[in-house]
Amino acid sequence: MGFLVIFNWSWLLLSVLLGFAMGWIAVVHRGRGVSKRTSQWLALLAVAVVAAALAHLIPGRPGYWLDLAMLIFAMYILGCAAGSWLRERVLARVTPTS
């Protein structure tokens, strides 16, 4: 994992910055969510992919790309969370008291 971070630090930094920008400009949309069954399947898929990466079930270059994709996605999600949290803190609307 250290090799991934050292060798691909620029891509990780770009994914964090892109996530931060998307978290900052994203408007909350209260649309229909996915069904409970679909969310369970997605959670199962995520657990399977993480387990495959941790157990090194996919060897060689495809395993490297899987690890890198998971790391970049995690950095993007962290950037999104930081951007939306910071926007909420900076642009907090104060309700006037009457």
Residue 98 exposed, middle or buried by CB count within 10 Å (0-12, 13-18, 19+): exposed
Buried b (16+ CB within 10 A) or exposed e, 25-60: eeeeeeeeeeeeeeeeeeeeeeeeeeeebeeeeeee
With 70 as the cut, is the pLDDT of residue 97 above it?
Answer: no
- pLDDT tens track for 13-61: 999 999 999 999 987 766 787 899 999 999 999 999 989 888 888 889 9
Dist CA 72 CA 66 (whole Å)? 10
Residue 96: pLDDT band (50, 70, 90) is low
Give pTM, 2 decimals: 0.77
Domain boundaries, the chain: 59-91
With 90 as the cut, is the pLDDT of residue 89 above it?
Answer: no
